[in-house]
Structure 1
Amino acid sequence: MKTVRSKRTLGAVTPEDFVKLEQLRRMQAIALWLLVAMAVVFAVSFGLQGRFVWAGYVRAASEGGMVGAIADWFAVTALFRRPLGLPIPHTNLIAGKKDEIGEGLGSFIEENFLADEVVHERLSTISGARISGTWLQEPVNAKKVTGFAAQAGIAGLTVLSDADVQDLLESLIREHVIDPPWSSTIGRVTEQLLEAGHHHALIDIVADHAEQWLVTHPESFNALVSSRMPSWVPSIANRFIDDRAHKEVVKFVRAVRDNEQHPFREAANRFLHDLTHDLQSKPQLQEQVEQFKEEIFDSPRIRTIVESTWNSARASLTAMLEDEHSELRARMTRAVTDFGRRLLDDPTLQYKIDVWVMTAVEHLVHTYRHDLAQVVTETVYRWDASEAAEKIELQVGKDLQFIRINGTVVGSIAGVTIYTIATLIHTLVG
Structure 2
Amino acid sequence: MRIMATCLLIVMAAIYIGMRQVQHVHPAFGFVRAFAEAAMVGGLADWFAVTALFRHPLGIPIPHTAIIPENKDRIADTMAAFLQSNFLTPQVVARRMGALNAAAAMGGFLADPRTGESRLRDGAAGLVADILESLDPDELGGLAKGALRNQLEKIDLAPLLGQLIGAAIADGRHMAVIESLIRKTAETIEANEPMIKTMIHERANTILRWTGLDEKLANAVLDGTYKLLAETLVVPDHPVRTRIEEGLRTLAHDLVHDPAMRDKVEQVKHEILANPAFARWLDGLWERGRARMLEMVRNPQGALGGQFGASIAELGYALQRDTGLQRVVNRFARRTLVGVATRYGAQIVRLVSETVKRWDARTVTDRIEGAVGRDLQFIRINGTLVGGLVGLTLHALDGAL
> Taking structure 1 as the reference length, what is the TM-score of the superposition?
0.81
Return the alpha-carbon distance in structure 2 between the equivalents of residues 144 and 250 of structure 1. Answer: 63
Q: 1:137 to 1:227 in 2, by over 3 A?
A: farther
Q: CA deviation at 1:199?
A: 3.0
SS of equivalent residue, structure 2 residue 208: coil
Q: CA deviation at 1:300?
A: 4.5
Residue in structure 2 matched with residue 101 of structure 1 by the alignment: 75
Return the alpha-carbon distance in structure 2 between the equivalents of residues 71 and 337 of structure 1. Answer: 61
Residue in structure 1 matched with residue 201 of structure 2 by the alignment: 226
Residue in structure 1 matched with residue 360 of structure 2 by the alignment: 384
| Counterpart amino acid of residue 130 in structure 2 | A
SS of equivalent residue, structure 2 residue 34: helix
Question: Does the alignment pair 1:405 with 2:381?
Answer: yes
- Does the aligned pair in 2 maintain the 1:69–1:408 contact within 8 Å? yes
Q: CA deviation at 1:55?
A: 4.2
2:20 to 46, 56, 63: 46
- Does the aligned pair in 1 maintain the 2:201–2:209 contact within 8 Å? no
2:285 to 295, 309, 318: 309
SS of equivalent residue, structure 1 residue 88: coil
Backbone CA RMSD of aligned residues: 3.0
- Does the aligned pair in 2 maintain the 1:320–1:329 contact within 8 Å? no
2:328 to 343, 348, 352: 352
Q: Deviations over 1:101-131 (max 9, x none)?
A: 2222222222223333433333233333322
Structure 1 window deviating more from structure 2 (335-344 vs 311-320): it is: 335-344
Q: Note the 1:39-118 alignment, pairs <5 A.
A: 39-50=13-24, 52-118=26-92
| Counterpart amino acid of residue 94 in structure 1 | I
Q: CA deviation at 1:362?
A: 2.0
How many residue pairs align between the two structures? Answer: 399
| Counterpart amino acid of residue 350 in structure 2 | Q
- Does the aligned pair in 1 maintain the 2:297–2:303 contact within 8 Å? no
Residue in structure 2 matched with residue 187 of structure 1 by the alignment: 162
Q: 1:87 to 1:162 in 2, by over 3 A?
A: closer
- Does the aligned pair in 2 maintain the 1:166–1:306 contact within 8 Å? no
Q: CA deviation at 1:198?
A: 3.0
Query: Kindly, what percent of the aligned residue pairs are identical?
Result: 29
| Counterpart amino acid of residue 260 in structure 1 | P
**Gapped regions of structure 1 (runs ≥ 5):** 1-23, 426-430
**Gapped regions of structure 2 (runs ≥ 5):** none
Return the alpha-carbon distance in structure 2 between the equivalents of residues 386 and 184 of structure 1. Answer: 72
| Counterpart amino acid of residue 45 in structure 1 | M
Q: 1:138 to 1:229 in 2, by over 3 A?
A: farther
| Counterpart amino acid of residue 306 in structure 1 | L
Q: 1:74 to 1:244 in 2, by over 3 A?
A: same
Question: Does the alignment pair 1:415 with 2:391?
Answer: yes
Return the alpha-carbon distance in structure 2 between the equivalents of residues 385 and 211 of structure 1. Answer: 90
Q: Note the 1:199-238 alignment, pairs <5 A.
A: 199-214=174-189, 218-230=193-205, 232-234=207-209, 236-238=212-214
Q: 1:320 to 1:388 in 2, by over 3 A?
A: closer
Return the alpha-carbon distance in structure 2 between the equivalents of residues 356 and 138 of structure 1. Answer: 23
> Taking structure 2 as the reference length, what is the TM-score of the superposition?
0.86
Q: CA deviation at 1:259?
A: 1.0
| Counterpart amino acid of residue 359 in structure 2 | W
- Does the aligned pair in 1 maintain the 2:125–2:300 contact within 8 Å? no
Q: 1:76 to 1:186 in 2, by over 3 A?
A: closer
